[in-house]
Structure 1
Amino acid sequence: MHRAERLFQLTTLLRNRRTVLTARQLSEHLQVSERTIYRDIQSLSLSGVPIEGEAGVGYRLSHRYQLPPLMFDREEVEALLLGARMVSGWGDMDMARHANQAIQKILAVLPDHLRHSDETLPLLVPNMEEVQRYYTAHSQTIRAAIRIHQRLRIDYIRADEERSSRVIEPLGLIFWGKVWTLVAWCQLREDYRTFRLDRIQSLDMTGETFATHEQKSLKHFLHIMKARHEQDCDKAPSNPQEPL
C-alpha cells in the first residue's frame, strides 16, 4: 500500500468512529507497525488534519473536519454492488428496497467508465422472493425493536417441534448464508438465546423498553461465542484422524 493511500485510509478510519482508536488498533487494521502509525498521525497533523488525542491513549478526528467527495476504483465498486445485491436478495423487503436505492445512488455519482458496472458485474445473487419472505419473517419488526430497545413477545417452534412462548430483549440479527438468527436476552432463562426467524410463529412488541450493558449486548454474546469456540479448538485431538 502506498503511503498516500494509507494516510487516506487512516483519515477515513478516524472519521468514521465516535470513540478513540488506539495506535495498536490502527496498526492492525492497516497492517503496519505502531511506529508507522505514530509517524502518519504526525504527518496528518502537520498537514492540517485536526486529529485529537495522544500516544498511549488513542486518536480521533475532530467532528468539524470534512473529507472531500470520495471516488471508488473498479474493485471497490464491484464489492459495493455485490454487497448491495446480497442485501437485496437475502434481506427483508424493506432492506431490499433500500439496497436497490443505494445501488442507484452509487451508480449516479460514478464516472462514465464505471457507471454501467452493475450491468456487467459477473457476480450474481439469486433473488427468490417467496424464499426471501419465508426466511426474513418478522425482520422489519425485529430491526425496529432492536433500534428502540423494546422487548418482544414471541411464539416459537424449536427444532424438536416443541412450542414455547416467551418475552425477549432483541440484541441483533445474524445471517448464516441462508438462515437469519435473532440473538436475544431471554427473560425466562435469564441468559442469551438464539431464535431462527423462520421458526417464529408470531411476534408482538410489548411496549416495554430495556437497556443493554457490558454483560448484556450483542458484542458480549459474540465474545462468549468466540471464547467457547477457542476452548473447543483447544480440546480437539492433536491428530485429526483419531476419533473423538
Structure 2
Amino acid sequence: MHRAERLFQLTTLLRNRRTVLTAKQMSEHLRVSERTIYRDIQSLSLSGVPIEGEAGVGYRLSHRYQLPPLMFDREEVEALLLGARMVSSWGDTDMAIHANQAIQKILSVLPDHLRHSDESLPLLVPNMEEVQKYYTAHSQPMREAIRLRQRVAIDYVRADEQHSSRTIEPLGMIFWGKVWTLVAWCHLRDDYRTFRLDRIQSIVVTDEKFDTSDSKSLKHFLHLMKEKYAQEPEATAPHEC
C-alpha cells in the first residue's frame, strides 16, 4: 500500500469512529507497525488534519472536520456490490429492498468506467425467494425489537421437536451462511440463549423495554463465546433454547 493511500485510509478510519482509536487498533487494521501509525498521525496533523488525542491513549478526528465525498476503486465497488447482493438474497424483504436501493445509489455516483460494474460482476449469489422467506421468518419485527430494546414473547420448536414459550430480550442476529440465529437473554434461564429464526413459530413484540449492560449485550456474548472456544476448540455451538 502506498503511503498516500494509507494516510487516506487512516483518515477515513478515524472519521468513522465516535470514540478514540489506539495506535495498536489502527496498526492492526492497516497491517503496519505502531511506529508507522505514529509517524502517519504526525504527518496528518502537520498537514492540517485536526486529530485529537495522544500516544498511549488514543486518537480521534475532530467532529468539525469535513472530508470531500469518497470515491471507490474497482475492487471496492465489487466488494460492496457482492455484499449488497448477499443481503438482498439472504436478508428479509425489507433488508433486500434497502440493499437494492443502496446498489442503485452506489452505481449512480460512480464514474462511467465503473458504472456498469453490477452488470459485469462475475460473482453471483442465487436468489431463491421461497427459501429466503423461510429462513428469514420474523426477521423484520425482531430487528426492530433489537433496535428499540423491546422484550419479545416467542413460541419455539427445537431441533428435537420440543416446544417452549419464552420471554426474551433480543440482543442481535448472526448469519451462518444459511441460517439466521437470534442471540437473546432468556428470562426463564436467566442467561444467554440462541434461537434459529426459522424455528420460531410465533412472536409478540411487547411494550416492555430492557437495558443492555457490560454483562448483557451481544458484544459480551461474543466475548464469552470467543473465550470458550479458545479453551475448548471442539466446543459445540452456544445453547439453543
Short-chain TM bin: over 0.9
Residues 1:90 and 2:86 are matched in the alignment: no
Consecutive unaligned residues in structure 2, runs of 5 or more: 236-241
Percent sequence identity over matched residues? 83
Partner of 2:157: 157
> Amino acid of the residue matched to residue 6 of structure 1?
R
Residues 1:177 and 2:191 are matched in the alignment: no
Q: C-alpha distance in 2, partners of 1:66/1:138? A: 39
SS in 2 for 1:44: helix
> Amino acid of the residue matched to residue 221 of structure 2?
F
1:50-199 equivalences in 2 (<5 Å): 50-199=50-199
Partner of 2:22: 22
SS in 2 for 1:178: coil
Q: C-alpha distance in 2, partners of 1:138/1:63? A: 38
- Give 1:65 deviation, angstroms: 1.0
SS in 2 for 1:233: coil
Partner of 1:241: none
The change in CA–CA distance for 1:2 and 1:144 in structure 2 (over 3 A counts) is same
Q: C-alpha distance in 1, partners of 2:208/2:8? A: 44
Structure 1 runs of 4+ with >6 Å offset: none
- Give 1:233 deviation, angstroms: 2.9
Q: C-alpha distance in 2, partners of 1:72/1:226? A: 33
- Give 1:234 deviation, angstroms: 8.9
Q: C-alpha offsets along residues 16-47 of structure 1, whole Å, 9 cap, x if unaligned?
A: 01110011111111111111111111111111
SS in 2 for 1:41: helix
- Give aligned pairs, total: 235
Partner of 2:221: 221
> Amino acid of the residue matched to residue 227 of structure 2?
A
Consecutive unaligned residues in structure 1, runs of 5 or more: 236-244
Q: C-alpha distance in 1, partners of 2:109/2:16? A: 21
Q: C-alpha distance in 2, partners of 1:233/1:208? A: 38
Partner of 1:48: 48
